Amino acid sequence: MTATTASKKASAAPTRATVVVAAKPAPMQEPDNEEFKVTPGNKEKRAAADAKNKWVHDELKPQHLAACKASTEQIFGEEVAKLMWGADFKKHVQVIEKMETLFVSAPAELMECVDVIFKWTAIKLAES
């Protein structure tokens, strides 16, 4: 075999393409991997609003639901509030487990927002 014939066979051989596999994007962090932060505030304002608009757990009004949703977003943040108001019970359990950590890490902040926690619990119990 001559050098020209060998080079023709080599050039005729199929070349292998290099496949580049893109790395998977990092999954979004679940709130349980993050530090659970609470921003309590406006407890007096919530108490004044509740005094004007009596909260009766048997007669849940749309304005009670809207006020509780707004309070949970303000206190716990938007991502945790989405978990709290979603339909998945497993997500609710995750939120409750996160709240348990507040007993040790931030008991004063937990006491400031316990009214909202009780209202959320009452609403979720009424839904089921």
pLDDT at 20: 41
Query: Among residues 60, 45, 51, 32, which one has the least CA distance to residue 113?
Result: 45
Instruction: Please say whether the beta carbons of 75 and 39 come within 8 A.
Output: yes
pTM metric for this prediction: 0.64
Residue 74: inside a domain:
yes
In a domain, 26, yes or no: no
* Count of the separate structural domains present in the chain: 1
Q: How many CB atoms lie within 10 A of CB 98?
A: 19
pLDDT tens column, 103-115: 888 888 888 889 8
Specify if 70 maps to a domain.
Answer: yes
Residues of the domain holding 111: 39-127
Residue 67 lies in a domain: yes
In a domain, 13, yes or no: no
